[in-house]
Amino acid sequence: MKPRNTSRGKPQSCCFGLLAVIFLISLSYLTMSKTSMLRFSVVNSQLPPMTNGNTSDMASDVYPVTEDSSIRSQGLETEEAELGRSLACELKDGQCETGHGRMVVKNSSTVVDQDPTRVMASSDELVFNEEERRDNVKPGRKPICDLSNTKSDICEADGDVRIIGKDTRMIYVANSEFSNRETGESWTIKPYARKWDKGSGAKVREVTMKLVKSHGEDKHCDVNHTVPALVFAIGGWTGNFFHDFADVLVPLFETSYHFEGEVQFLIANIKPLWINKYHKYFEKLSRYKIIDYDNDDRVHCFKQVTLGLRCDQGDFTINPSKDPYGYTMADFTKFTRSAYSLKRDHPVRPGEQAGKKPRILIVTRKATRKFTNVKEIVRMAKKVGFNAVVTEAEANITRFSQVVNSCDVMMGVHGSGLTNIVFLPTHSVVIQVVPWGNLDWIAGNYFRDPSRQMKLHYLEYSINEEETTLSELYPRDHAVFKDPMSLHHQGWDTFSRIFLVEQNVKLDVRKFRSVLEHALQLLREQQYR
């Protein structure tokens, strides 16, 4: 048999073979491209949107910057007003509006907008530079410093930490895991929880944290510590009772309580009398003697350091959903009662014990926003069914905390004295008397919201123009009565002088009786046992 001629089939086979090769190459390219896109999409989906708060998740997308990026707005201050002398906003139409925003460079190709109202960049901006790839730096790693909170910056680092105080005020951190890009980076912050406020910031020294590959001979250890370090300041508005808690004590609890006493405090702008006033808090949070950071020139060595205090962006509050340990203001008040050995965790329920009436604490004031008819208020409180205690808040915290904790209801005109609600038993009642002048936002921000977070019942009584002594200073057709908001818009000096300094309160006790009765009813309805 003659062999079959296959020459006519060869070109056809080659053609099919070529097409098959082209198809396989195309399929391979598409598969690689799709896989790459999928991987990139997954990286992007793990980065959360910017939110209005300071969270560890948000922090994972904010990379360190090499300069001080503190957010501050115009500080509004007066020595006469005890509370609210510096607001994180402008008062407009009875609301608090912030107008500050900033941009922080994240890397060579990405910008993170620190305005929390803006959303995250799209996936095509998530490009990591070649140096990061060479150093095997994983995208989305936790940064050293979180600058996203409008109230407080916080830096946290592990490694060979050398802390130098006095005139130097430097923290050097050496860690073999630092990339080439990270080495040499530094952050300069003011470790006080009110960074937007120029008025308070002017009283706080800056501290710099710098990343290094290794330490020189000039930074040998004078003191070695086996516990973590926490560096912060107590300058600013400390000395005002409200700011003592809102700017230092609550953020300090939120930052350090999880250490269970095993942490060393290094405090800048230290005030010995202030420390002594609140010594029970410090002794409960740390077992170690405080280091005066501004006057200690030794090199202190640690394995872990936190610079700055963690806090909620509001005043006198903790947001458990954004706190890494889930702490709440109720946790803080429980901690406070323990620190001061306060015995009562719950108020009296009327009628539960024969002959025992609930106690109401009427907090008075000597100078501004004082009650002018205290005796009438006391008579009405007794008529409703309370035993009344009348006193002005005093400097001896240990003694006054006992007085507050012995009461079931606390009432007072808006002011720093109401900060003593931290000593009340859980489920007690707070009555804030709000002065004339559209002060709803200030009243709510400073005490209404914190009270509820502390698991206290909150009642509010806003006085009318018949109950303010401003009627003795201004005619009824004045803007004080006709258009209070126009005076807000004239600035802090005018606003505070009229509504916080010149004003006293004469309660209409017949109208106020319903508030006292409501407070008594809330105590009767307690379900804490």
In the predicted structure, residue 242 carries a pLDDT above the cut 70: yes
Q: Got the DSSP string for 247-271? A: IIIHHHHHHHGGGTB--EEEEES--
Lowest average pLDDT, out of 64-73, 137-146, 348-357, 392-401, goes to: 64-73
In the predicted structure, residue 61 carries a pLDDT above the cut 60: no
Over residues 58-68, mean pLDDT = 28
Lowest average pLDDT, out of 92-106, 270-284, 420-434, goes to: 92-106
* pLDDT tens-digit readout, 502-528: 999 999 999 999 999 999 999 999 865
Lowest average pLDDT, out of 3-17, 137-151, 477-491, 509-523, goes to: 3-17
Please, which pLDDT band fits residue 26 given cuts at 50, 70 and 90? low
3-state secondary structure of 335: helix
CATH of 346-525, one of 3.40.50.10860, 3.40.50.970, 3.40.50.2300, 3.40.50.880: 3.40.50.2300
Rounded Cα–Cα distance for residues 175 and 179 (Å): 9
Question: What pLDDT does residue 461 have?
Answer: 97
Rounded Cα–Cα distance for residues 148 and 116 (Å): 8
Please, which pLDDT band fits residue 11 given cuts at 50, 70 and 90? very low
Tell me the HSE value of 368 on the side-chain side, using a 13 A CA sphere: 18
In the predicted structure, residue 185 carries a pLDDT above the cut 80: yes
Which regions of the chain carry the CATH code 3.40.50.2300?
Answer: 346-525
pTM above 0.85, yes or no: no
In the predicted structure, residue 179 carries a pLDDT above the cut 80: no
Task: Give yes or no for a contact between 307 and 154, defined as CB atoms under 8 angstroms apart.
Answer: yes
3-state secondary structure of 354: coil
Lowest average pLDDT, out of 84-88, 233-237, 398-402, goes to: 84-88
Average pLDDT over the chain, rounded to whole? 78
